[in-house]
Amino acid sequence: MSPALRPRRSVLYMPGANARALEKARSLDCDGVIIDLEDAVAPDAKAGARALVAEALAAGGFGHREVVVRVNGADTPWFEDDLAAFAATAATGAGPDAVLIPKVADPETLRVTGRRLDGLGAPVGLKVWAMIETPLAVLKAGEIALAARDPLSRLAVLVLGTNDLSKETGARIVPGRAPMQAWLSLCVLAARAGGVDVLDGVWNGFRDLEGFARECVEAADLGFDGKTLIHPTQIEPCNAAFSPPEKEVDEARMLIEVFDRPENAAKGVLQIEGRMFERMHADIARKTVALAEAIAARN
């Protein structure tokens, strides 16, 4: 998790041209929404969708949900107008929390975007999320994530685009995702090195909730902070997979308490009921408790 500790377990995509979906976003139990102006909006509908999204953001009502607009790519005719529209609304407080940039190829894309947002007067609170969805981006995931050290980049989150990765590489999307495992792990590693969050790609077969739930658990095991979603029915199983279980939170609280006892102040390692615990386990426990508390505060 990034320092602000914002739960990002479940982040739902919706087409920017879909007014009904934008309305529903205000009541769904997801941690965030990505309102899409890119792939989910046809070329002729781009300008209309941009206006509709700006209107929805001005109307507000998204509550605890982090609101992100996926703009069109830097190499498209809509990029400049998209950035300008959402930098302007962010400056009035009626904008998104972040813009998601598609097909980020290298850190330079982030520097260009950052300079543009600065030039447009976007407040520093407007963050940038980066799609990792090309072979080059996976190869450069470390460099891209490390760009977060430069405040100019505004980078807060990496988002995997697994459908595009499949299309670009020929790797099939199969249960368990063995063909992509190495790339997924590399992106988690990169995100941690850069101190940003990382979200897994989508599961297309939204009527198959069993398969989806399994993939959520796999993604949580890989270290992802959450998963991007395409349908409201995916929210609940996703939240469940990325929330620390109650038992784990209780154990974490107990471990912190034991390490905090005065008699243990000088100890680096302890045994509790036949298991070894080092101070690093107390650090992990603090993160678990902090995430659980952030989720509880959200509710």
Residue 151, both tokens: 């405040």
Q: How far apart are CA 64 and CA 249, in angstroms?
A: 22
Q: Which of 31, 66, 97, 164 binds Mg ion (CB under 5 A)?
A: 164
d(CA 160, CA 242): 16
Which lies closer to Mg ion via its Cβ, residue 164 or residue 281?
Answer: 164
**Binding-site residue positions:** 70, 133, 164
Residues at the binding site for substrate are: 70, 133
Work out what residue 86 binds among Mg ion, ligand COA, none; the CB cut-off runs from 5 to 8 Å by kind.
none
- Residue list 229-288, contact with ligand COA (CB under 6 A): 230-232
Please tell me whether residue 208 adopts helix, strand or coil conformation: coil
Among ligand COA, Mg ion, none, partner that 164 touches (CB below 5 to 8 angstroms by kind): Mg ion
The whole-angstrom separation of Cα 174 and Cα 194 is 29
* Beta carbon of residue 17, minimum distance to ligand COA (angstroms, whole number): 10
Rounded to an integer, what distance in angstroms lies between the CA atom of residue 180 and that of residue 166?
A: 9
Structure tokens of 184? 């997924």
The listed partner (Mg ion, ligand COA, none) that binds 225, CB under 5 to 8 Å by sort, is none
Q: Residues 127-146 vs Mg ion: string with x where CB under 5 A? A: ------x-------------
| φ/ψ (deg, to 5) at 36 | -95, 130
SS3 101: strand
Minimum CB–partner distance for residue 37 and ligand COA (Å): 10
207's contact among Mg ion, ligand COA, none, with CB below 5 to 8 A by partner kind, is none
Cα within 13 Å of Cα(78), Cβ side: 23
Q: Which residues are annotated as a binding site for Mg(2+)?
A: 133, 164
Q: Which is nearer to Mg ion, 6 or 103 (CB)?
A: 103
Burial of 96 (0-12, 13-18, 19+ CB in 10 A): buried
Measured distance CA(65)–CA(29) in Å, rounded:
8
Say whether residue 73 binds Mg ion (CB under 5 A).
no
The DSSP code for 16 is: T
Q: Binders of ligand COA among 160-199, rule CB under 6 A?
A: none
CB of 24 to ligand COA, least distance (A): 4
Query: What letter would DSSP give residue 263?
Result: G
* CA 13 – CA 32 distance, rounded (Å): 9
Nearest residue to 237 (alpha-carbon basis) of 215, 258, 221, 256: 215
Q: Kindly tell me which residue out of 32, 114, 161, 226 binds Mg ion, with binding defined by CB under 5 A.
A: 161
Does 73 sit near ligand COA (CB under 6 A)? no
Q: What is the DSSP letter of 151?
A: G
Closer of 230 and 284 to ligand COA (Cβ): 230
- What is the smallest separation between the CB atom of 287 and Mg ion, expressed in angstroms? 31
Which CB, 40 or 196, lies closer to ligand COA? 40
The size of the interface with ligand COA (CB under 6 A), counted in residues, is: 15
Determine the 3-state secondary structure of 12 from DSSP: strand
Q: Which of residues 6-65 bind ligand COA (CB under 6 A)?
A: 12-15, 20-21, 24-25, 36, 39-40
Q: Which is nearer to ligand COA, 87 or 202 (CB)?
A: 202
| Chain positions contacting ligand COA, by CB under 6 A | 12-15, 20-21, 24-25, 36, 39-40, 202, 230-232
